[in-house]
Amino acid sequence: MRLILEGSGASRGMALGRARLEQPSRFLVDNTPLEQSEVADELLRIDQALAAARAELKGLRDKLDGPLAREVAEFIDAHGLMLEDPEFVEGLHDLISDGRYHASAALKMQRDRLVAVFEAMDDPYLRSRREDIEHVIGRVQGALNRESSVEERKLASRVGEILVSDTVAPSELVPLAEHGLLGFILTGGSTLSHSAILARSLRLPMVVGSHEALSHLQDGDLVLIDGDSGNVIAHPTAQDLASYRHWQRELAAQDKRRARLREADTRTVDGIDIHLHANAEMAADVARARSFGAAGIGLYRTEFLFLQRRDAPGEEEQFLAYRDLVLGMGGLPVTIRTLDLGADKADSAGLVLEDEPNPALGVRGVRLSLRIPQLMYTQLRAILRTTGYGPVRILVPMISAVEEITMVRRLVDECAMQLRAEGHQIAERFEIGAMIEVPAAAIALRSMIQHLDFVAIGTNDLVQYTLAVDRNNNELGDLYDPLHPAVLRLIAHTIAVCRRNKRPVTLCGEIAGDVYFTPMLIALGLTEFSMHPGLILEVREAVNTLHAGELRKLAAQLLRAGDRASIRAVMQRMRASMPTIMENADPAAAAH
Ligand code: PEP
Ligand code: MG
């Protein structure tokens, strides 16, 4: 029966496909049959995972003390007994060697069997013990996943599937997309997470905060997801399918209309040139940036090169990736951002980082790079080596104090000296810029600006840090507000300081590619934007209808407005000149 589940749209577009559920314990099941030659390895894997789970339980038991130690020990012992149970273990072995199931599939079958037995019990207490089964098997599954999650995800074909999960890591997105996955429904997640940013780059629709998805959907259900509204329709009707086809036709028509803008200038009706650069995370973004007429790469997020691997990439590997980016842009400017790991991105980067209670306020971005000098040297050398191939700028994330910039500049100078001594052809001078994403940097920009060649405003983080609202926590909803007066004033101040000091300033947060915000940003004096390449034509279409002079007259009103209602009223007046564009406003803006 048709069922609508609500969530928030995190990556636009619709997708129709079969639901593929992954429970939070990450049951990554490979259902392809094993070859005879793979059986021995798979038996070894399951035995190692069982041993690891037993060792974990023993470790837990050894640490017990305090008043409840005895009771807890009994639970742990019961779990341990299950892992020793010959019937359980032999059952797994039989499924692998006779049934030719992968370890993950065999484990899932054993789990399903045991859960069915417990669920059939009359005694409510015993019935509730199925939780123990989930925990024990989850532990074994965890041990299996640790060695093979990416491999298993890579192996399994995802053609025609929509992943339903609690979260998805940025590193998992690319292999999933390469294997034909169509979209994501996440019970958790956020529209501003790096996974959402990457999904937008990959043009994969994503719905986040769809709390009921895992409990209401089943594997194989036909689902239609709408990454604009955030709605998920399970078992769509003929009418739903008709609107899906209608959307596909509209999209094709819109693409055709906008294709005419590929070669066009981006200029307001009163003749102000606006430069639209592309954000890039992967090589494919370069081709798209070129084809949509980007003015350059305004933000290359290097951390994606570090994800999905066991060790950090070396200088040569980084150099080749950056050089290809520069070559690919054929002489247009490229801004390469140094590593911005920490917070939500560190886990799968092949770097061992200490767990932090508050990673967004911890060792992130430039703080991490300065603490691991070898990491920064390697990256800076790789970037500097590309300066012989085209115009390259170096952008430093998470700057909060001028000393960080002077330290980076010193390292750049040292690397440049070494490289020249080694005979590399590199530029004479290097442009170094700061991401303005920590409020302190925006507020103190005047005392920092002389040390900077350019500035990039990172509103994704600036909003989070100014308002103390976690960008990855969708539950905070409306509180994450790029139109908060404090945020508007910081953006306006940053642009004004840069203009006064003749420093180029770009805005590269998600709002740069959202036409809802375009008039407001032009009103504040912004002329350089950087966004997902796929949004360039839409923003160009919007800019070409706007009158910068008229908008600037409204800027003072906007900055004076102190509450949501009056800010939105000014926004409305600013947007009045672009009525057709509004229908296409980004879903993230729908909340504003
Ligand atoms: C930002 O914070 O706005 C930004 C562009 O950087 P990131 O999203 O990579 O943190
Ligand atoms: Mg940022």
Domains and CATH numbers, the chain: 37-145 (1.10.274.10), 296-508 (3.20.20.60)
Report the pLDDT value the prediction gives residue 468, as an integer from 0 to 100: 97
Report the pLDDT value the prediction gives residue 152, as an integer from 0 to 100: 44
Report the pLDDT value the prediction gives residue 236, as an integer from 0 to 100: 95
The residue ranges of DSSP E strands in 296-440, in sequence order, are 297-301, 334-337, 392-396, 431-436
SS3 assignment, position 257: helix
CA–CA dist 159, 152 (Å, integer):
15
Q: 364 CB less than 6 Å from ligand 1?
A: no
Do residues 527 and 272 lie in contact, with contact meaning Cβ atoms separated by under 8 Å? Answer: yes
Q: Identify the helix (H) or strand (E) that includes residue 166.
A: none
Do residues 462 and 398 lie in contact, with contact meaning Cβ atoms separated by under 8 Å? Answer: no
Q: Is 498 a catalytic residue?
A: no
- The atom of ligand 1 lying closest to the CA of 340 is 9
From atom 6 of ligand 1, which residue's Cα is the shortest distance away?
Answer: 458
Residues of the chain with pLDDT under 50: 67, 148-155, 581-592
From atom 3 of ligand 1, which residue's Cα is the shortest distance away?
Answer: 458
Q: 458 CB less than 6 Å from ligand 1?
A: yes
Report the pLDDT value the prediction gives residue 278, as an integer from 0 to 100: 97
CA–CA dist 72, 94 (Å, integer):
32
Report the pLDDT value the prediction gives residue 344, as an integer from 0 to 100: 54
Answer whether 0.75 is exceeded by the pTM: no
Report the pLDDT value the prediction gives residue 485, as an integer from 0 to 100: 97
Give the number of other CB atoms < 10 A from CB of residue 293.
18
The residue ranges of DSSP E strands in 237-296, in sequence order, are 275-280
For the record, the structure tokens of 279 come out as 């954000």
In degrees and rounded to multiples of 5, residue 2 shows phi and psi of -60, 135
Report the pLDDT value the prediction gives residue 69, as an integer from 0 to 100: 57
- The atom of ligand 1 lying closest to the CA of 461 is 2
Report the pLDDT value the prediction gives residue 465, as an integer from 0 to 100: 97
Report the pLDDT value the prediction gives residue 70, as an integer from 0 to 100: 62
Report the pLDDT value the prediction gives residue 587, as an integer from 0 to 100: 38
Q: Is 508 a catalytic residue?
A: yes
Report the pLDDT value the prediction gives residue 124, as an integer from 0 to 100: 66
